[in-house]
Every structure is written in C-alpha cells, then in structure tokens.
C-alpha cells in the first residue's frame, strides 16, 4: 500500500501544482497598472484607421454646450484628416518628381505642392462622418467623439484634374506613374497597422 500511495500522492501533488500554476497566472494584458483606469474612446480603433481606400481621422471635442462640443470634434478631425492628406500627397509628389527627373524640379515640386494644398482644402468638402457619439461627463460637460473619412480615389481624381489643367506641368505629368506612387503610399497605411 505504501508503494501505491506514494506515487499517487506525488502525481496528485504535481497535478495540483500545475492546476494552481495555470490558475495563478494572469494575462499581463488583463492587469491594469496600479492607479490607472481603462478608458473607452468611442469612434477609434483599427476600423477607423486610414487604409488604401480612405483617409480617416478621429477626434474628441468637449464643451459646456452640446453643439460646441460637436463643432470642436469635427474641426479637430477635419484638421487631422487634412494634415494626413497633405503629408501623404507631399511624399507622393516628391517621389513622382524624383522618378520623373524633371529639369525644373524645384519649380515643379512647388507647383505640385501648391496644387496638393488647394486640392486638399477643396476635397475636404466630401468628408463623411462615419462615427459620432456624444456623452455627458459627471461635471455636466458634453463630449463628442467623431470619426470622419474621405475617399482616396476622390482625392486622386481631384488632384489629377488640377494637375492636368496646369499648363506649366501638363507636358511632364504622368498620371499612371503618379497614381502608382499614390497607391504605394496608401498601402503603407495598411502595413503599419
């Protein structure tokens, strides 16, 4: 009986150790740091990231007045969207001009960038709200969470129309190469998520 009991006790002890060890471990992502509280941010997350099809941005506005909170959020989101678009278009323009090796590179780059800024401002009229949530804080203030998007194709089409109409660069502008450069830059958004 001693021989049966000793292996049985050892097996039970090992089993108990394994079970307790598995229960005792917590996933590090489940533990919150001491003194911190997890905050839910509406209208944010991976489904609101820029991708190859849409430029996207989100923002939060807060105010004692509900409509002012909404205006603040929309203004901040549109500003972020415009900045992202201008940055992307600037990279595309630089790559396009370098790959095309225009003789008057500096002048052409400036024309492209000016058209990009103008196009961005004009195209922002096509911004679409894809998420909007409003909350009221314990202090009685309103918070608006908002996410907006703009079609990358719409921006590219508008930009192409403007470039095609500019006499200074029409002869040296290659839409297919420009579009290819633009699409490569938009793909980077998806790869960086």
Give per-residue pLDDT as tens, 158-176: 877 777 776 666 656 677 8
Residue 130 has pLDDT above 60, yes or no: yes
57 within a domain of the structure (yes/no):
yes
pLDDT band of residue 118 (cuts 50, 70, 90) is low
Q: Is residue 42 within 8 Å of residue 143, measured between CB atoms?
A: no
Answer with the residue of higher pLDDT: 156 or 80: 80
Q: Is residue 34 within 8 Å of residue 116, measured between CB atoms?
A: no
Answer with the residue of higher pLDDT: 10 or 167: 167
102 within a domain of the structure (yes/no):
yes
pLDDT band of residue 135 (cuts 50, 70, 90) is very high
95 within a domain of the structure (yes/no):
yes
User: 32: burial class by Cβ within 10 Å (0-12, 13-18, 19+)?
Assistant: exposed
22 within a domain of the structure (yes/no):
no
Least confident of 88-92, 115-119, 135-139, 155-159: 115-119
137 within a domain of the structure (yes/no):
yes
18 within a domain of the structure (yes/no):
no
Q: Is the pTM of this model over 0.85?
A: no
pLDDT at 188: 84
How high does pLDDT run on average in the chain? 78
pLDDT at 1: 46
For 20-59, the pLDDT digits (tens) are 555 555 555 667 788 888 888 999 999 999 998 999 999 9
Domain count, the chain: 1
pLDDT at 158: 80
User: 95: burial class by Cβ within 10 Å (0-12, 13-18, 19+)?
Assistant: middle
The two tokens of residue 134 are 């409003």
Residue 108 has pLDDT above 60, yes or no: yes
40 within a domain of the structure (yes/no):
no
Q: What is the domain range of residue 87?
A: 46-186
């Amino acid at each position: 009986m001693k021989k049966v009991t000793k292996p049985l006790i050892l097996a039970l002890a090992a089993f108990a150790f394994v079970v307790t060890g598995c229960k005792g471990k917590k996933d590090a992502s489940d533990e919150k740091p001491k003194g911190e509280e997890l905050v839910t941010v509406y209208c944010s997350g991976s489904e609101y990231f820029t991708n190859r099809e849409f430029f996207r941005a989100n923002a939060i506005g807060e105010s004692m007045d509900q409509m002012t909170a909404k205006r603040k959020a929309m203004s901040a989101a549109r500003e972020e969207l415009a900045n992202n678009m201008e940055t992307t278009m600037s990279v595309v323009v630089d790559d396009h001009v370098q790959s095309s090796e225009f003789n008057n590179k500096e002048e052409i780059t400036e024309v492209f960038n000016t058209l990009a800024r103008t196009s961005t401002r004009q195209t922002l009229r096509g911004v679409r709200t894809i998420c909007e949530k409003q909350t009221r804080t314990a202090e009685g203030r309103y918070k608006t969470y908002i996410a907006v998007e703009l079609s990358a194709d719409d921006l590219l089409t508008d930009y192409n129309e403007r470039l095609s109409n500019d006499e200074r660069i029409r002869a040296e502008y290659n839409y297919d190469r420009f579009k290819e450069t633009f699409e490569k830059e938009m793909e980077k958004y998806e790869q960086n998520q």
